[in-house]
Amino acid sequence: MSSGSVQEPTHSELTPTDEISNQLPSSSASAGTPSGPLSMIIEAISKAIELAKNPVGYMTTDKDSPATTNSVMVNYVSMLAAIPFVAILIGDLWYYSALTHYNEGRIVAVAFVGAILTAIGYVVAVYIVGYIVQALAASFGTAKDQVKSLKLTAYIYTPAFLLSAFYIIPPLGFLTIIGVLYGLYILYMGIPIVLGTPKDRVVPYLVAIVVTTLVVYFVIAIIIGVVAAAVLGHAYGFM
């Protein structure tokens, strides 16, 4: 080694101060970039928008990307569930405040319960439908793959997650139906792309998934309705 060169210290030569500084984020990164759950939510929403803009291109590129059941559910689905949670919480707070004369505590309780139940409902529906997509696969000439089945289900629900932002204005909540319809298109295009289903089995497979999804939605709606009715009845003195 030449006399003018500087040898970098090895790991064993680093002082405690050096080791601590290496574990800390740079000031430029921490100053302008969100971290923690917020950054995960932003990243998930960014991916969701990319998928919504070009579902075929996104699914073709992403179908074989490394993933696990936990990563799909935690890093993507659960992060997107923040959209309906926040939208319903804010929407119900101002909506019930404007239309009722009940105290703030009751309004907050009703809004929070409605928001958390809806967000949980979305997440549970994705997981259950993903499991059923996998269970039905063999009947339609498709190899069973839990992760890809869950990925496809997450793709299907993505437009509904995004458009659930309309819940911030409760009377516009019905517009989420557009997300459901777009999800059907993503399902139709995604079955052969993500799961490799033969073309002549795509439509029957799609119908089976849709029927299953409707059943899941019906059951979840009943559960949410019963719990919400109980909370509303207690908050407003009906029970």
3-state SS assignment for residue 94: helix
What distance in Å separates the CA atoms of residue 52 and residue 22, rounded to the nearest whole number? 39
- Residue 229 pLDDT greater than 80, yes or no: no
* Residue 67 domain flag: yes
pLDDT band at 24 (very low <50, low <70, confident <90, very high): very low
User: Is residue 31 in some structural domain?
Assistant: no
Q: Helix crossing, 146-163 with 176-194: angle to 10°?
A: 160
As a residue count, the chain comes to 239
Q: What is the mean pLDDT of residues 114-138?
A: 91
| Mean pLDDT in residue range 143-161 | 95
In whole angstroms, give the CA distance from residue 174 to residue 120: 19
DSSP string, 12-80: GG--HHHHHHHHSPPHHHHHHS--THHHHHHHHHHHHHHHHH-HHHHHHHHTTS---HHIIIIIIIHHH
How far is 55 from 168, CA to CA, in rounded Å? 26
Range 143-157 average pLDDT: 95
pLDDT grade for 54, boundaries at 50, 70 and 90:
very high
Q: Give the pLDDT confidence score for residue 22 in this predicted structure.
A: 42
Structure tokens at 79: 């992060």
Q: Does residue 27 lie within any of the structural domains? A: no
Helix (H) or strand (E) holding 101: none
For residues 213 and 150, give the distance between their C-alpha atoms in angstroms, rounded to a whole number: 13
Closest CA relative to residue 205, chosen from 223, 220, 189: 189
8 found inside a domain: no
Give the residue-averaged pLDDT of 52-73. 94
Per-residue pLDDT at 16: 46
Domain count, the chain: 1
> Is residue 206 assigned to a domain?
yes
Residue 213 one-letter amino acid: T
Distance (Å, whole) CA 123 – CA 118: 9
Structure confidence at residue 102 (pLDDT): 67
User: Distance between alpha carbon 210 and the CA centroid of its chain, in Å?
Assistant: 19
Please give the Cα distance from 7 to 62 (Å, whole number).
42
pLDDT computed for residue 61 by the predictor: 94
* Contact in structure between 208 and 137 (CB atoms under 8 Å): no
pLDDT bracket for residue 191 (50, 70, 90): very high
CA distance 47 to 66: 15
Residue numbers of the domain that contains 160: 37-235
Assess if residue 127 is contained within a domain.
Answer: yes
Read off the pLDDT band of 212 (50, 70, 90). confident
* 17: pLDDT strictly greater than 60: no
Location of structure tokens 């696969």: 137
Task: Provide the pLDDT for residue 108.
Answer: 84
Has residue 17 been placed in a domain?
no
Which one-letter DSSP state was computed for residue 198?
Answer: -
Q: What is the mean pLDDT of residues 173-192?
A: 94
| In-domain check, residue 135 | yes
According to the model, what pLDDT value does residue 220 have? Answer: 74
